[in-house]
Structure 1
Amino acid sequence: MNDCTAFDDNELLRLLQQDNASAFQELYDRYWNKLYYIAHKRLKSSQAAEEIVQNVFLTIWRKRGTLRIDEPAPYLAAITRYAVYRYMANEKRRTKKEEIAGSRQTEGVALEMLIDDKLLLEIVKQQANELPEKCRLVFIYNKLEDQPIPEVAERLNISVKTAEAHLTKALRLIRNRLKDHAFFIFSD
């Protein structure tokens, strides 16, 4: 390998076209920091900037036999900027896809929870219908219609203590009956 530090950019490009690895290394050493600065300035990410600059030089090496470059500095800066723009566009698309996938997954979980809630509510209503009349009414008014116990007691013309006793009995009976359904409701 020759020492290429004394050659100008055009001579380095000519040698590069002839598969001279030393010429490539010298171009790399001369321009890596400048290209990294261009990429990092726009991306604010060291890792992404390094990846882009490495890819730029990889492309230069791969196309060394067909390259026709008049001015290496502006050419390398331009392909680095274009690589940055492509990277930013790809990141934007990737982020958008992740957002869409995340919202679909969230919608799916919410729908599944809604179906589970409706199923559970139907089972609870079915179990409530099998309760003795006063227990059933206290349970429905208090738990399903969200009426406070004093209002339920007044509505049914019973004491608050009696309404509370009916509610306690209803909850105990429904819990015991739901144990049979729990496996089906909470299993995947």
Structure 2
Amino acid sequence: MHLLEDTALLDMIKNDDRKAFTTIYDRYWDRLFASAFYHLKNTAAAEEIVQDIFVTIWQKRRGLEIDELSRYLAAMVRYAVYRYMAKEHQRRELHESAPMPAVAPAAPLEHKLMLEIVDKLSGDLPEKCRIVFRATKLYDQSLSDVAKQLNISPKTAEAHLTKALRIIRMNLGKAFHLFF
């Protein structure tokens, strides 16, 4: 398999050949990851982009018309990096434009510490979960408004919020244990 040309492997992939797909994956994964990481400096994002590219290749395998696979994959990485950077920019703008959570000046120290811990825990959430959680719980925006801003359905926003709350509840006990 490893001796075959890309065009032969692509023809085999069109016929659902998983070994040919694995060969293409092994042949190009490192290069695509390096390219994505070079631009993003984020290992998780680079890995996700490369994985998404290979998922797309497999899903669209029967209709693919590719002249030169290496150029095609490089273009896919480039556009995926552009989209990721645009989303990150939009996320930062949304985060910066959202009002900070209101804390009364006379709020007890424990309340402020709790907010800091929850804010720190929310920073470790997956991107959409983090945005939905912070907007609804820390910045008092309605779930429907957040869904509109993110261009997702209210049910999807609710699912992200539910996932975020579950993760934060799980990690909150660990945070208190370490803190005290």
TM-score bucket (shorter structure): 0.5 to 0.7
* 1:83 corresponds to which of 80, 83, 86: 80
**Is 1:14 aligned with 2:8?**
no
Moved over 4 A (4+): none
**Counterpart amino acid of 1:12?**
L
Partner of residue 63, structure 2: 66
Q: TM-score, normalised by structure 1?
A: 0.54
1:41-99 Cα deviation digits (max 9, x unpaired) = 00011111111100000100000011000000000000011001100100111111111
Q: TM-score, normalised by structure 2?
A: 0.56
* 2:100 corresponds to which of 89, 94, 105: 105
1:111-154 Cα deviation digits (max 9, x unpaired) = x76xxxxxxxxxxxxxxxxxxxxxxxxxxxxxxxxxxxxxxxxx
* 1:44 corresponds to which of 41, 44, 58: 41
> What is the distance in 2 between the residues matched to 1:80 and 1:62?
17
The 5 Å alignment of 1:1-188 reads 4-101=1-98, 104-106=99-101, 108-109=102-103
TM superposition shift of 1:18:
0.7
Q: How many residues align?
A: 106
1:14-42 Cα deviation digits (max 9, x unpaired) = 10111110110000000000100110000
Q: Secondary structure at the match of 1:68?
A: coil
Q: Secondary structure at the match of 2:61?
A: coil
> What is the distance in 1 between the residues matched to 2:62 and 2:95?
40
> What is the distance in 1 between the residues matched to 2:84 and 2:44?
12
Between Structure 1 and Structure 2, whose CA radius of gyration is higher? 1
CA RMSD of aligned residues (A): 1.6
TM superposition shift of 1:105:
3.0
> What is the distance in 1 between the residues matched to 2:81 and 2:100?
31
Point out where structure 2 has 5 or more consecutive residues left out of the alignment: 106-180
Point out where structure 1 has 5 or more consecutive residues left out of the alignment: 114-188
